[in-house]
Each structure stands twice: as structure tokens, then as C-alpha cells.
Amino acid sequence: MTNKPTSAFPDDFLWGAATAAYQVEGGHDADGKGPSIWDIYSHLPGTTHAGTNGDVAADHYHRFKEDVALMAEAGLTSYRFSISWPRLLPQGRGTVNQAGIQFYSDLIDELLKHNIKPMITLYHWDLPQALQDIGGWESRVTVEAFEEYAKLCYQAFGDRVELWSTFNETLIFIGMGYFTATHPPGISDPKRGLQACHHVFVAHAKAVQAFRQYQQFGTVPSNGQIGFVNVMQPHDPISDSSEDVAACNMADDLLTHWLYDPVLKGEYPTHILNLAQATWGAPVFAEEDEMLLKDNICDFIGVNYYKREWIAANPDVENTKINTTGEKGSGQEFGFKGLFKFVRNPNSTYTDWDWEIYPEGLCVGMMRLKERYGDIPFYITENGLGAKDPIIDGEIVDQPRIEYLSSHIAAAESAIKQGVDVRGYYPWSFIDLLSWLNGYQKQYGFVYVDRDNHLNRRRKKSFFWYQDVIKSNGAVR
Ligand code: BG6
């Protein structure tokens, strides 16, 4: 008798994969969908790599059955996807596009038919343009509209979906949308960014509150859970000088605690709130905000882990240009003058996009969060390697991706062994899709999309590897 390899992953651990609507669906104006800010922004000259956009993407909107069949073949037990708000509400609020509801309803049914548990993200950055036109996240009208949209989703899909998250990565859509001006709405103004970010937290709290009410009415499952998804980017000082350590603490406060505290503690870190309000006069609170945040802590945290950042003191650099070409070293030093900068560690390993490969960071990051926020359940809602995959004799031999994911699964297992309540793992991405600023050249998927040949799907080497990982509950990797 041979002993089967075992792992520390619990039996009900979810082995998933993730995507987001704008990056995978295409069908940008199909069947009554309204335009999102990304539909508009990506068509402006000079905004994305080589003018790429998500008009067609992987055409998942029309091919979702084929894609779900592939998920089932891979053995996924869960699938994380986002809903396109303007597909349901073309104007952001008001008239509902029934064809949009039908699409997600059919997708959910197809997943359940194959025993794949849906995990819905309500907002993965594609705000209806109509709401941007009246101020976007800077306006409280958008907060109200988000609550209505969330309720619509609970009513339409709550009978079949247990796992929900409100927002994906405030760090990126607020940071790049309002600080570095590299995502829509392309603004660089800390005061406006801090206020927009605050409204996102208030919208989140209102959606959590509505979820709990709907749980009482039975509209969403009583065992349903609602969470928030954040970038998890552990920071380490590049030296032990007091300047670098102070800069690293500042990076933690601004890029981690500012974004996790409001959803896990119901308040901002006081010293940073005081600093922000004294320096920029923002965020301004409405009367109800403090209690709303306090009363609506989420059920779980989703962490998207790709890399760690090494931090140094930064007396001089004011630059936010990143590598969007995949040519190693093409990004410049990224920093906010007077606060901190991200620096390269010459002894470490980096991807072609200059992202450090540091699997232990997945474990370290969750341990640090557990220390600050206690025993919250975790889902690893994204993790993956962006690369130009080699095609050898017609096969997509994405060996570096296998190595990347394998070492990160080991780190997740190590976190579980150290007492972190990790409940699921969703590599980014199930299928090759649009990378917001890097186009289609930066691939992440288990499934290749042949852009020269009718968007045909082909299984990569990693597809078969992940199948074995799932079959063995993470023991074979
Ligand atoms: C996360 C996002 O920031 O990282 C995804 O949630 C994104 O939407 C992923 O695609 C990878 O980033 P990039 O820039 O390499 O596509």
C-alpha cells in the first residue's frame, strides 16, 4: 500500500482562480451595457501599453460556457470574478439592464452545475462613466449608487452565492486614479484622493450593512460572508538605518494600515488621520460615517499578493513611473518625496516587470496582518506571475509560473501551520486576459488565448500542473 501525500490544507479548502470583468469579458457595448470609466480611458491616446483595451478581451462574455468547462476540467472548486456595474446599470443607477443580470445569472448557474463555488467581487474598478461624470468616488451620490447596486446584486444572485467581496484593491484604483494619475480618472491630488478613498470605505460599510439585513430576510444565505480585497504588499527597510526604518513604518501606515484598518477595525490609524486632515484637510467625515465604519467590520479579508517592496528614506525622488513593457529595469525608482521610496535589492530575484519574487512574503504578510487584526479568515484572492510565456513546439511551457505558484502554495501552507485561518487560494488568473496598463503581453493564465486565431483557448503546462495540485489538496506541487 502506498501512502498518499498529504498537506496541511483543510479538506474544505477552496482551490480557485480569479478574473475581473473588464479584463476578461469583452462585449464592451453588448446587449445594453453602458460605458465604464475604463472603456473611455483606455481609448484615450497614451494611457495604456500600445493602446490596448478591453473591448474584446478574452470574449468571456460570449464564451463563458467553454471557459467554465475548462475550469471544471482543471478541477477548480471556486471561481472569483467581478460584476461589471455598468452591465447591470448602464447609467450607474436607475434602469436595470436585464440582459446583464441574465449573463451573470447564467454564469453562476453554469458554475454551480460543475460544483464550482462563485466568489463575487462587486467592484473591480469599472465604475459606470455616468457616475464619473457627476464626480465619481468624490461624490456621495456614488456611495448611494453603490449601495443600490450591491442590493440589486444580492437580490439577483444572493439565492446562489455565499462568498462576496465589495471592493478590489483601494491601493491601486485610488492610488493610481488620484495620486499618480495613471488609472482613470487620471487625477493627481492627495486631498481629492483621500476623500474618494473615504467614500469607498463608506460605500463598503453600507454594502456590508445591507448584506447583513438581507441575511435576516433570507435574500442572501445565512452562512454567506462578505469581505474586502486589498493588496498585501509587505514592506521591509533596505537597511537598519533609523531613516530607512522610519520610511518603512510610513509606507506601512499609508499603504497598509490606512487601507486595512477602516474595514477590519472600523477606523483609520489616528496619527495618520490627524496628519492627513492637518496637511490636506481630508478626509471629511459626514455625521454617520464614524458609526457606519465601526458597525460594519467585514467577515473576511481577501489578500492579493504578488510582491514585497523594499523601502528607503526618500529626501529627493518624486517619480511614479513603473515598468509596463516587460523589459527588466525599464521602470524608474518609484517614490513620494519626503516620505519613502521603493528600491531594488540587488540580492533578490525579480520578474521581467521588476516585481520581486518572494514567496515567503505571502506567509509573512498574513502573519503581520493576523498580529494587527486578530483571527480573521483569509482568502488569498490573487497571486500569480505575469510573463511573456514561451511557446515551444506549439506547447505553452510556462514553467516559471509553475515554480512561482508552487513556492507560494508552500508559503500558504506554512501560514496555515502557524495558525493563520486561510480558506482559499485563487491564482491570478484563470485565463489570459488584459493587464490594465500592460496589454495582452503580460500573461498570467492557466489557459492561453490565441489572439491570432479566433481567441481559441489552449491549456498551458500549468493547467495540468494545477489539476494535480487540486486533486491532491495541495500536497503535490
Ligand atoms: C491586481 C489586480 O492589482 O493585479 C488585477 O487586481 C491585475 O486586476 C493584477 O491584473 C496584476 O497586475 P498587472 O498590472 O500585472 O495586470
Residue ranges and CATH numbers for the domains of the chain are: 14-256+298-471 (3.20.20.80)
pLDDT band at 464 (very low <50, low <70, confident <90, very high): very high
pLDDT digits (tens, 9 = 90+) for 100-127: 999 999 999 999 999 999 999 999 999 9
Give the Cα separation of 27 and 9 in Å (integer). Answer: 38
Q: Identify the burial level of 87 via C-beta atoms within 10 angstroms of its C-beta, where 0-12 means exposed, 13-18 middle and 19 or more buried.
A: buried
Distance of CA 172 to the CA centre of its chain: 9
- Residue 11's identity, in one-letter code, is D
Q: Is 304 in the pocket of ligand 1 (CB under 6 A)?
A: yes
Give the Cα separation of 230 and 298 in Å (integer). Answer: 13
Mention every residue, 6+ apart, whose C-beta is less than 8 A from residue 376. 264, 300, 301, 369, 370, 421
Arithmetic mean of pLDDT over the chain? 96
Shortest-distance Cα residue to atom 10 of ligand 1: 435
Q: Identify the burial level of 50 via C-beta atoms within 10 angstroms of its C-beta, where 0-12 means exposed, 13-18 middle and 19 or more buried.
A: exposed
124 is in an annotated binding site: yes
Does the model's ipTM exceed the 0.95 cut? yes
Alpha helices in 8-47, H assignment, sequence order: 21-24, 37-41
- The predicted model scores a pTM of 0.97
pLDDT digits (tens, 9 = 90+) for 343-390: 999 999 999 999 999 999 999 999 999 999 999 999 999 999 999 999
C-beta atoms surrounding 194 within 10 Å: 24
Q: Residue 323's pLDDT is what?
A: 87
pLDDT digits (tens, 9 = 90+) for 41-75: 999 999 999 999 999 999 999 999 999 999 999 99
Q: Residue 2's pLDDT is what?
A: 65
Q: Residue 4's pLDDT is what?
A: 81
60 is in an annotated binding site: no
Q: Is 435 in the pocket of ligand 1 (CB under 6 A)?
A: yes
Average pLDDT for residues 305-334, to the nearest whole number?
87
Here the cell at position 148 is 443600490
Give the Cα separation of 7 and 470 in Å (integer). Answer: 11
Shortest-distance Cα residue to atom 7 of ligand 1: 435
Q: Is 132 in the pocket of ligand 1 (CB under 6 A)?
A: no
Here the cell at position 8 is 496541511
Q: Is 302 in the pocket of ligand 1 (CB under 6 A)?
A: no
* Ligand 1 binding pocket mutation candidate from 24, 49, 170, 172 (most atoms within 8 A of CB): 172
Q: Residue 342's pLDDT is what?
A: 95
Q: Residue 262's pLDDT is what?
A: 98
Q: How far is the CA of 435 from the centre of ligand 1 (A)?
A: 6
Q: Residue 1's pLDDT is what?
A: 58
Reference 231, options 208, 251, 206, 215; nearest CA is 251
Q: Residue 5's pLDDT is what?
A: 84
Give the Cα separation of 226 and 211 in Å (integer). Answer: 8
pLDDT digits (tens, 9 = 90+) for 407-426: 999 999 999 999 999 999 99
Reference 227, options 165, 147, 317; nearest CA is 165
pLDDT band at 288 (very low <50, low <70, confident <90, very high): very high
Average pLDDT for residues 176-185, to the nearest whole number?
96
Decide which of 324 and 129 is more confident. 129
Shortest-distance Cα residue to atom 12 of ligand 1: 435
Reference 143, options 56, 212, 210, 239; nearest CA is 210
Q: Is 22 in the pocket of ligand 1 (CB under 6 A)?
A: no
Q: What does DSSP say about strands 78-82 and 117-123: parallel, antiparallel, or unpaired?
A: parallel
Q: How far is the CA of 355 from the centre of ligand 1 (A)?
A: 12
Reference 301, options 420, 199, 211, 202; nearest CA is 420
pLDDT digits (tens, 9 = 90+) for 451-463: 999 999 999 999 9
Q: How far is the CA of 304 from the centre of ligand 1 (A)?
A: 9
Shortest-distance Cα residue to atom 11 of ligand 1: 435
